[in-house]
Amino acid sequence: MRSLNNKTVYLDHFASTPCDERVVHAMLPYFVEEFANPSSFTHAPGISALRTVESSREKIANALGMKSREIVFTGGATESNNLAILGLATKAIRRHIVTSNIEHKSVLGPIDHLERNGFRVTRLTVNSKGELDLDRYIEAIDDDTLLVSIQSANNEIGTIQDINTLVKIAHERGALFHCDAVQAFGKVRFDFSNVDLLSLSGHKIYGPKGIGLLALKGGPDKMAISSICFGGGQESGLRPGTLNVPLIVGFAYAAQLAIEQLDSIGTIEAIRDRFERMLVAMVPDVKLNGNPLNRLPGGSSITFDGIEAESLLANLPEFALSTGSACSGGAVTPSHVLEAIGLGRNESFGTLRVCFGRGNSMEDAERLAEKLVDSVHRIRKLNEILN
């Protein structure tokens, strides 16, 4: 499935992905036919539902190279990030958190909350490619550091961090390491075996929305973490509430498919590269953001000098794309990620994010490049007339 309808080509796969039809098919029986609550141990349908959950937990653990007891299901990565950060802080003696200034807001938000409540926070800056400075990272972690939270890959510019090295350094200083791996899983090969806490979300890997996980190295019993929500004992007491069996089944199947299809991810990368080559060759004053040699396949963050991205989108109604700005409280603000890599306000407003995925074709890339070239030239000519 590559389009929202017969006219719109979907190119925003870092924001969300269409649910794979095979995943939908796997979920369907658990909405109507096998609908029992997995916490109902007194009858066969409930026990069957519980077995389905545990089977799915095992499948996801295998996809991650982890053990099933280490997987805690949540409502999505935002919840997982909050549980990891706030849940650890509840019982912590150490009072220092290290993160970067390009993390997802679901990481920065709970860390901001901890800072307002007495924690010390170090927010590491990145260079123009979105990379951390290793020397500054080493200096930032001290004997009071409870947690380091660094994403595996950025959701806007695609830059990939050297997680294994960062984890090793954090552990040498007695700190735990949390990784928001939402964007990387299923796009690139990663070894997450040394990460203490790992967040994932189903809808980024062609699975359903509303389901995610927090993986805890060694399992909840080995980690001094508390629930941030109360009312039940599900998921080792960390995530109370009736487990959503259909979504868990879909999440597990999507995770399996993501691993199986890693070898074909080069096709998506080739489509993205074709798009960028055409665009750069035909449009002057275009800047590609992030690290061109170390980024996620499929994604492209492009800044157009002197042009607002919203104007470009208005000329591209047949394509679903994102801009480098966000609407918050009725006001449009520049992306904190683009600001962190050195882009000014106008540059942020002139940035598009294009994210190719499964189902997109080389024809999609070429059509978008041609339409963008035409739109840029037309808008620039109009600007010259008006100015």
**pLDDT score recorded for residue 382:** 82
CA distance 89 to 41: 34
Mean pLDDT rounded to a whole number for the chain: 93
Residue 329's Cβ-count burial label (10 Å; 0-12, 13-18, 19+) is exposed
Cα–Cα distance for residue pair 254/211, rounded to 1 Å:
11
Question: pLDDT at position 94, please?
Answer: 97
Give the per-residue pLDDT at 329.
42
Answer whether 255's CB lies under 8 Å from 60's CB. yes
Give just the sign of the alpha carbon dihedral 294, 300, 302, 308.
negative
Residue 353, beta-bridge partner list? 301, 322
Q: What distances in angstroms separate CA 24 from CA 21, 52, 221, 251, 293, one per listed residue?
A: 5, 16, 33, 10, 35
> Does residue 198 sit in helix, strand or coil?
strand
Q: Which of 353, 348, 296 has its CA nearest to residue 320?
A: 353
CB atoms within 10 A of CB 188: 18
Residue 179 is a catalytic residue:
no
Q: Which fold has domain 34-260?
A: Aspartate Aminotransferase; domain 2 (3.40.640)
State what percent of residues in the chain have pLDDT above 70.
Answer: 96
pLDDT at 326 over 60: no
Task: Report which DSSP code applies to 244.
Answer: -
Cα–Cα distance, 109 to 102 (Å, whole number):
12
State mean pLDDT over 141-154.
98
CATH architecture of 9-18+263-386: Alpha-Beta Complex (3.90)
If you average pLDDT over residues 95-112, what whole number do you get?
97
What number is the average pLDDT over the span 135-147? 98
Structure tokens at 294: 């170390």
Q: Is residue 213 predicted with pLDDT exceeding 80?
A: yes
- Say how far apart CA 324 and CA 14 lie, in whole Å: 13
Amino acid identity, position 203? H
The pairing of beta strand 286-289 with beta strand 322-323 = unpaired
**Direct distance between the N- and C-terminal alpha carbons of the chain, in angstroms, rounded to an integer:** 43
Q: Element (H or E) spanning 178, and its range?
A: strand 176-180
Catalytic residue among 179, 229, 327, 355: 327
Overall average pLDDT of the 2-16 stretch: 80
**Percent of the chain's residues with pLDDT above 90:** 86
Q: State residue 333's pLDDT score.
A: 85
**Does the pLDDT of residue 2 top 60, yes or no?**
no
pLDDT in tens, 36-87: 999 998 999 999 999 999 999 999 999 999 999 999 999 999 999 999 999 9
The pLDDT of residue 327 is 45
User: What are the boundaries of each domain within the chain?
Assistant: 9-18+263-386, 34-260
Collapsing DSSP to helix, strand or coil, 228 comes out as: coil
